[in-house]
Amino acid sequence: MLNARDPSGFILLRRRAADARILSAMLRLALLLTALLLPALALAGDEAPKKPTKIDPSITAFVKRAQAAAAGTDDDALHALFDVNAMSSALEAAGYMNLVPADRRERLKRQAERGLIRAILEGRLVSAFDSFRVRTVTKGESEGARVLYLWLLDEVGGMVRARWYLQRNDASWKITDVEHLDIGVRVIPFMGMLILERVSGGLAPWMMHAPAFSRSYALLGEGKFAEALLLLKPLESVVFPDALAAILQTLLGLCEMTTGSFDAAMVHLDAAAELPGDTPIVHLMRGTIHNLEFRHGLALREMKRYEALLDADPESGLEMGIALHGLDRKAEALRVLTPAVRGAPKDPETLAYYALCLPAARRSELGKRFGSLDDPVLGHREIADIVLEKGAVALLRLFGGYLQAARPKHYDVLHYEGQALYLEKKYREAADRFEAGRDAMLAAPEGERPDDADTRQVYVDAVMDALLDARAPIEAYTRTPQKAHAFTYIGEELLWSMNADTMRSYLAHVRTDPPKMGADELRWRLAFYAAEADRFEGKDDAVVKAQRTLLPLLRAAVAEDDENESLESLLWDVEDRLLRALIRLKKFDDARPLAAEVSTRDEDHRYLVLIHLAHGKAAEAIALIERAVREGTDALDYFEDPDMREALAAPPFAALREKLLPK
């Protein structure tokens, strides 16, 4: 959930929605791989598509029967969907049996049939789906054969794109092959490769790692992405067949993407893309990451590649629409978002971007589309956060009206009206709306309040944000019931103003109405903020005196309670302000021991770099910055540091800037 003052959470919001769709599809595909012990994969067939034929109602009825069988527990019903004999014959016809001595063929054929049955029942070749769309039906190779291209969708918007190969026998349809298009797996070649492994002397060494894949899928299904990543990482050293290696890299990319490590995710997805074959979901994930990081031109390229491999669908339409909107090509974005919003009428994110591109004269249709959402409150919240991030006040109010009609007394109506007023810079009016929304949220029954504490905190902080921008920090403090939180929140915000008088008047009020927190921490924070007021006025000697007094007290407190993140953060701030003040005062001998300690303990070399810069030692400063980057620090932490930005813009650092900064 966002607020207008700080929309930085927007990337997290988008990532969560994208992760849910992609993860759902990947887990469904994983069932097949796990059941077959992950034998070598064959890429899906690339036959030229035939001209689509009319969709026979009996085919639609068959898919509905398959949907019921996949959702149930009757193995016989699921088994009855398939013609195992025809599938076994297809393995023979494909020539896989020819490499087997004649006296072993019958036995191997029976093994293959058992493997196919296992894949049907355990791997769920037709995994459960909540709805489906038959996109096209084309004629197959033999009389009475048909090839279906269809989408299998689940309730969170996850989609598996598949081809089913059907054969009509005695007025009933049977499946003779299944092709999962997202990861390029077709079952008959898949099983054929397993036969080849058997013929070549048993299980290949890489097959022994199948259990790790199975466990990782279970962890992903539980949302334990970090644990799944730890399990999958060691598999990078295993030599897998190319297509399975692509799936490993794709899963690693998914884990990294879900935890917000976009750069690491792209490394894995790029590795998957470089392997033979072309896995569509890799392009979908790369396009999503490019959009999340506002590289909309690259996202558009990925989505075009994805649609060339499959065709347009609601997910690709959304990502392509986001890319085109980001490139300010709204008319084109609307063209791709129109079928996407029709194809995914319950997806708030698609509706939000559709609304952003829709001409004002056509906005009357949005009310009906809003009514299609499963949950008006959660749907509105996702839509409102997106249009808020884009600064679309009119749309924010329009969707607020739809929510008010659906849930007249809901606190989000008040909160997002406050966001609209905030965008219009009506800060005091916004604060009043925010306060009414906050109080209504806090008074709501437990089941009607947001589940997580961070989201609930947004309603509380919004009141303070508006009053801070109205330049009323004391009023922000008095109107917030959580005084301990308000004290530090407002104090940290006032650091950006660098107004000593405002800080001192705020601290004077807090002393008359102190928050309920530990007496020592209150005293230390008051002293720290008072020293910050001195820093604003350039009184570095006073800063050094105050921070030197605080440093041993905070170190002792943190040593006694090393899980107190609040005190640990305050200690870091005290060390930072003390070191910078000493360097500005050119007291390098006093600064150097603490700077060296911080460098060793935290791998934070900025203070040593500042000392080298003050002495004109460019080579030493460059060596330390390069070391920091190797250790994982973002180069921008140095080049955008206010105390070294000017020095690092000088000619001696030109080559370093070229080497480390993003192009």
Angle, alpha carbons 66-68-73 (nearest 5°)? 105
Tokens coding 106: 């019958």
Cα–Cα distance measured from residue 53 to residue 148, given in angstroms and rounded to the nearest whole number: 10
- Is the model's pLDDT at 31 over the cut of 80? no
- Is the model's pLDDT at 609 over the cut of 70? yes
Res 522: pLDDT: 96
Q: What is the pLDDT of residues 233-286, one digit of tens each?
A: 999 988 877 767 887 888 898 889 888 888 899 999 999 889 877 778 889 999
The answer to whether the beta carbons of residues 287 and 306 sit under 8 Å apart is yes
Compute the average pLDDT of residues 409-413.
94
Residue identified by tokens 């897998």 is 240
- Is the model's pLDDT at 110 over the cut of 80? no
* Residues 6 or more apart in contact with residue 252 via CB below 8 angstroms: 229, 232, 233, 236, 265, 268
Cα–Cα distance measured from residue 41 to residue 84, given in angstroms and rounded to the nearest whole number: 20
- Is the model's pLDDT at 661 over the cut of 90? no
Compute the average pLDDT of residues 321-346.
95
Give 10's pLDDT tier (boundaries 50, 70, 90): very low
Res 308: pLDDT: 87
Res 35: pLDDT: 40
Lowest mean pLDDT, pick from 130-134, 415-419, 519-523, 626-630: 130-134
Q: Helix, strand, coil shares of the chain as percentages rounded to 5? A: 70, 5, 25
- Is the model's pLDDT at 103 over the cut of 60? yes
Is 197 or 534 the better-scoring residue by pLDDT? 534
Give 95's pLDDT tier (boundaries 50, 70, 90): low
Res 447: pLDDT: 85
* Cα–Cα distance list, 184 to 134, 160, 243 (Å): 19, 11, 8
Res 413: pLDDT: 95
Sign of CA dihedral 6, 7, 11, 16: positive
For the chain, the average pLDDT equals 85
Compute the average pLDDT of residues 531-552.
97
DSSP run (H or E) holding 624: helix 618-630
DSSP run (H or E) holding 176: strand 172-180
Compute the average pLDDT of residues 336-359.
94
- Is the model's pLDDT at 33 over the cut of 50? no
- Is the model's pLDDT at 641 over the cut of 80? yes
Res 212: pLDDT: 76
Res 662: pLDDT: 76
Res 53: pLDDT: 73
Lowest mean pLDDT, pick from 34-43, 330-339, 370-379, 420-429: 34-43
In the chain, pLDDT over 70 holds for what percent of residues? 83
Give 552's pLDDT tier (boundaries 50, 70, 90): very high
Cα–Cα distance measured from residue 543 to residue 578, given in angstroms and rounded to the nearest whole number: 7
Burial of 610 (0-12, 13-18, 19+ CB in 10 A): buried
Compute the average pLDDT of residues 371-388.
94
Res 136: pLDDT: 84
The answer to whether the beta carbons of residues 41 and 185 sit under 8 Å apart is yes
Res 197: pLDDT: 54
pTM of the model: 0.79
